[in-house]
Amino acid sequence: MRESGFVIPQVVLLVFVLLVVGGGIALVASSGAEQNGKDATDSLSAGESGDAASALDSGSSKAVAKTTIPSPKPPPPSPLPSRPPIASASESLPPYDRTVCPDSSEGNDIFIRDGVRYRVDDEVRRWAEEFCGPNAHTPLVALSPSSTPPSQLSQPPAPPEPMCESNSSPVFTNHITDMSKVNYIVPPPTMGAGPSLKPHSYIGTDHARVPVYAPIDMTLITGAHTFDGPYGFIFKVNCEVQLRFGHITEPIQEIKDVFPSTPAQDSRDQKIDHEIFFKAGDVIAYTTGTEMAGNWDFGVYNSATSNRYANDPEWNISATYTTAVCPFDYFEASLRQAYVSKFNSAILGGNPPHGESFCKI
């Protein structure tokens, strides 16, 4: 019994010693592992070669097992929110800014979601190419209540010089033909079959071959080469006034060359190759007039005026009807009387006068 009582305290004492010694070892091992882990982390942050396992292996304690620490990876970027095309977003999104192009014209609205407004600030200039055309590389100016009005930002370019001279009352200084060959003149307007309003005059030369002259400096701008014409011409006198010759049978070669060689089936105006300028008195053609009546057309149209057909819904569909005037009122007084003396409004039974004449005797 005494031996047993002695042995048991010894066993307890031995266990206690082992626990103390084991705890110390564990404490030392733990300290070594922490130090080695810190060294490995420092090596990674400093960009040294090798991985965390090598750093841990170099520790003085062999009680620590090798541990591989993977290299840190940056978190994947958050996906950008999809932005619908501007065209489809325009109805549902608030406008970011209405841009003003450098020429003072307004550009298109740019629609941006409120949550990503900051993402496009640096791209506005790049988008300028789409919104402002050739002026894309100059900064855009946001239009807001506090902004300077576009009219004060820059002045628009001056309008180009007009290609014609403005003069609503030109004076014709030359006859349009050999007046000794003219048998009658029907002043406008008349009404043909159809009905068909004729706002021009008729020059009756009864199939005689007569010259056609430019009564003033003028430019051929269009006309028609047709089976029935065979030629009709429109000349620009100035910005407001044009004159027309119809049923011309023999234009000079220079005029023939600017029209299609094959005659058209209808009398619509045709695009000519280039315009031709004529001085007052120049010969532009010869004509024998229409096959049936032997007369030809002469009309003048002035966009600065309007006649009674401007208020007639049946005929105000064309400026040819509403701006036609008495062509003989534009001749010098010494020339005008030669035309007035040959007026005969009733000679064309198929084209009777349509109301009061444009021409006052």
Q: Exposed (0-12), middle (13-18) or buried (19+): which is 203, by Cβ within 10 Å?
A: buried
Choose the most confident range, by mean pLDDT, from 21-25, 75-79, 153-157, 317-321: 317-321
Q: How far is CA 134 from CA 115, 335, 354, in A?
A: 31, 55, 55
**CA-CA distance, 241 to 169, in Å (whole number)?**
8
> Quick check: 135 pLDDT over 80?
no
> Quick check: 345 pLDDT over 70?
yes
pLDDT band for position 87 (cuts 50, 70, 90): very low
| Per-residue tokens: 211 | 């010259």
> Quick check: 51 pLDDT over 90?
no
* pLDDT at residue 53 in the model: 39
Q: Is 211 or 86 the better-scoring residue by pLDDT?
A: 211
Beta strand pairing status for 190-192 and 196-198? antiparallel
Give every CB contact of residue 331 below 8 A, 6+ residues apart in sequence: 171, 172, 215, 339
Residue 349 in contact with residue 315, Cβ under 8 Å? no
* pLDDT at residue 26 in the model: 43
Least confident of 15-19, 107-111, 145-149, 244-248: 107-111
Neighbours of 226 (CB within 10 A): 17
124: left (phi over 0), alpha (psi -120 to 50) or beta: alpha
**CA-CA distance, 185 to 339, in Å (whole number)?**
7
Q: Is 15 or 275 the better-scoring residue by pLDDT?
A: 275
Q: Please state, for a pLDDT cut of 70, what percent of the chain lies above it.
A: 55
The architecture that CATH gives domain 179-340 is Distorted Sandwich (2.70)
Map tokens 């979601």 to a residue: 113
State mean pLDDT over 191-195: 91
End-to-end Cα spacing for the chain: 167
Among candidate residues 349, 354, 343, 223, the one with its CA nearest the CA of residue 292 = 349
> Quick check: 60 pLDDT over 80?
no
Least confident of 127-136, 238-247, 283-292: 127-136
> Quick check: 43 pLDDT over 80?
no
* pLDDT at residue 61 in the model: 43
State mean pLDDT over 11-28: 50
| Per-residue tokens: 254 | 């220079």
Domain ranges of the chain: 86-153, 179-340
* Helix extents (H) in 68-207: 86-89, 117-120, 124-132, 150-153
DSSP E strands, the chain? 95-100, 106-111, 141-143, 184-186, 190-192, 196-198, 201-204, 210-213, 218-225, 231-236, 241-248, 250-251, 276-278, 283-287, 295-302, 324-325
If DSSP states are collapsed to H, E and C, what string results for 189-238?
CEEECCCEEECCEEEECCCCCEEEECCCCEEEEEEEEECCCCEEEEEECC
Phi, psi of 310 (to 5 degrees): -65, -25
What's at 248, amino acid-wise?
Answer: I
| Per-residue tokens: 128 | 């300028």
State mean pLDDT over 253-275: 92
Residue 95 in contact with residue 111, Cβ under 8 Å? yes
